[in-house]
Amino acid sequence: MIERRDVLISGLGATALASCATRAPAVRRDASINERFSAPREDTTVKHGVVYRNENEFCGWPFYCGFWKTADGSLLASFKRIPTEYNAYDDVDHNNLTKNRGKLWTIRSRDNGESWDPSTFQAVFDMNIREENDLPGGGAADRSDEAPLDFFSRDTLIMGGGIPRLFSPGGEAWMRASTDGGRTWRRPMLIPKYDLPSLTAFGSSMYATREDGVHILGLNTGAPEALSPRPLVYHSSDGKNWRFLSFVTEERPPSPFYPGGSPFAPAPHFYPRVTILEGGHMLASLRYQRDPRNVIWTEIHESKDGGRTWNYLSRVNDWGAPGDLVPMRDGRVVCVYGYRIAPQGIRYRVSEDKGKTWGPEMILRDDGGSWDLGYPRVIEVEPGELMTIYYMNLKSDPVQVNGGVRHIAWTKFHP
């Protein structure tokens, strides 16, 4: 680049105006930053399929339900099913969907996710349960008749939620465990609150057991006057006794910028998903929200002392949450998330430094019909091959009610 400069030259009583050309100093660029902010590009390794779709159901939110590869090599997916007629917007409005909250179901695949057997459908929890006494067994704290859970077993699965609903004031967190890869489930238990004002659980990651056999479970609490739900972690060595371990973020005072009272209100820092990397480095992905229909992103917080203390580490993306994490066998970490800004779909980023920085944004699909999609789970089904499940609606769907029929889809890819 050539820069023109006008220079005033004086001498011996004469003044002359001269023009000279000089070369501007070169701009130094950080190649790694430029790479991270390169334009999003499509992943060409993708393969898509459908886990389950019903024209008269709203199916969604596998992020807080579950996705596992069990000891026999089968895959188990969990998600919510709500009877819904796609006649008007009210049928898919999330406020109205809370009137009939449906049930959490599981379904199994025996061919590494290529097909899903409807004969294996199993209802694991009725989301219309509002009281502790309505739980099977009443949520009794006495688990003396149950053997301890082996968290190193791939057949040990954890599912959780909240009653009377997620994030409800004064609510309770429930949990169910399976020791046979999801074929049977122990009766629900309530996780003790230890004087917390409320508690909500979101299921558990396959990758959240410390080397000493202690499992780390992400939850949220919230007080009526709090700024937002506050993420925290519990731990257990036997699956029967769960104890508060630490908060993930600092407590925030009330603020007029976070009014609450609506599922579309700003609510920073919730949906903690804990992942433990080789060597014990612990990451927790958190959702940060100004508006869940578009202005949401994923943050990473870290612990280097087994979950006792946490620090902010990085922001994964501009937009997209909640983000699920998978530690790959080659040492990389992948974060998959729903992308609710047009063109809507599912995207991911890769970290090669344990979540400190994230590579360019990769597009798994961008054919969504509206913002109402995402909430993925992701696992490494084979070395170097990831599979994610999520809820989806299509812009090509002949049914269009703020997007197409909400169904559970899957994508395989090689990051």
- Cβ burial of 411 (10 Å; 0-12, 13-18, 19+) is buried
- What's the whole-number mean pLDDT along residues 332-349? 98
Is the confidence at residue 123, as pLDDT, over 70? yes
Is residue 30 assigned to a domain?
no
pLDDT at 34: 83
- Give the torsion sign (CA, 68, 71, 75, 79): negative
Is residue 37 assigned to a domain?
no
User: How confident is the model over 281-297, as pLDDT tens digits?
Assistant: 999 999 999 888 999 99
What is the Cα–Cα distance from 77 to 70, expressed in whole angstroms? 11
Is residue 365 assigned to a domain?
yes
What is the Cα–Cα distance from 390 to 409, expressed in whole angstroms? 6
Q: Is residue 2 very low, low, confident or very high in pLDDT (cuts 50, 70, 90)?
A: very low
Q: What is the mean pLDDT of the chain?
A: 89
Is residue 28 assigned to a domain?
no
Is the confidence at residue 194, as pLDDT, over 60? yes
Is the confidence at residue 7, as pLDDT, over 60? no
Strands 57-60 and 295-303: unpaired
Q: Is residue 254 very low, low, confident or very high in pLDDT (cuts 50, 70, 90)?
A: low
pLDDT at 16: 37
At 246, which amino acid appears? S
Within 281-329, residue ranges assigned H as helices are none
What is the Cα–Cα distance from 164 to 269, expressed in whole angstroms? 21
What is the Cα–Cα distance from 237 to 151, expressed in whole angstroms? 8
- What's the whole-number mean pLDDT along residues 253-276? 74
Q: What angle do CA 298, 301, 306 make, to 5 degrees?
A: 140
pLDDT at 262: 60
CATH of residue 290: 2.120.10.10
Is residue 1 assigned to a domain?
no
What is the Cα–Cα distance from 135 to 130, expressed in whole angstroms? 9
Is the confidence at residue 79, as pLDDT, over 70? yes
- What's the whole-number mean pLDDT along residues 199-211? 93
Is the confidence at residue 325, as pLDDT, over 70? yes
Q: Is residue 180 very low, low, confident or very high in pLDDT (cuts 50, 70, 90)?
A: very high
Strands 41-42 and 362-365: parallel
Residue pair 181/137 in contact (Cβ under 8 Å)? The answer is no
* Cβ neighbour number for residue 139 with a 10 Å cutoff: 20
Q: What stretch of H or E contains 411? A: strand 407-413
- Cβ burial of 26 (10 Å; 0-12, 13-18, 19+) is exposed
pLDDT at 97: 80
Domain containing residue 165: 43-413
pLDDT at 99: 72
When divided into structural domains, the chain yields a total of 1
What is the Cα–Cα distance from 39 to 24, expressed in whole angstroms? 28
pLDDT at 20: 40
Is residue 259 assigned to a domain?
yes
- What's the whole-number mean pLDDT along residues 179-208? 94
Among residues of the chain, what percentage have pLDDT more than 70? 87
Question: Between residues 145 and 275, which one has the greater pLDDT?
Answer: 275
CA proximity to 153, closest of 121, 126, 127, 178: 178
Q: What stretch of H or E contains 35? A: helix 31-36
Is residue 4 assigned to a domain?
no
Is residue 153 assigned to a domain?
yes
pLDDT at 259: 58
Question: Between residues 222 and 111, which one has the greater pLDDT?
Answer: 111
Q: How far is CA 351 from CA 36, 241, 288, 360, in A?
A: 10, 34, 19, 10
Collapsing DSSP to helix, strand or coil, 323 comes out as strand
- What's the whole-number mean pLDDT along residues 184-193? 94
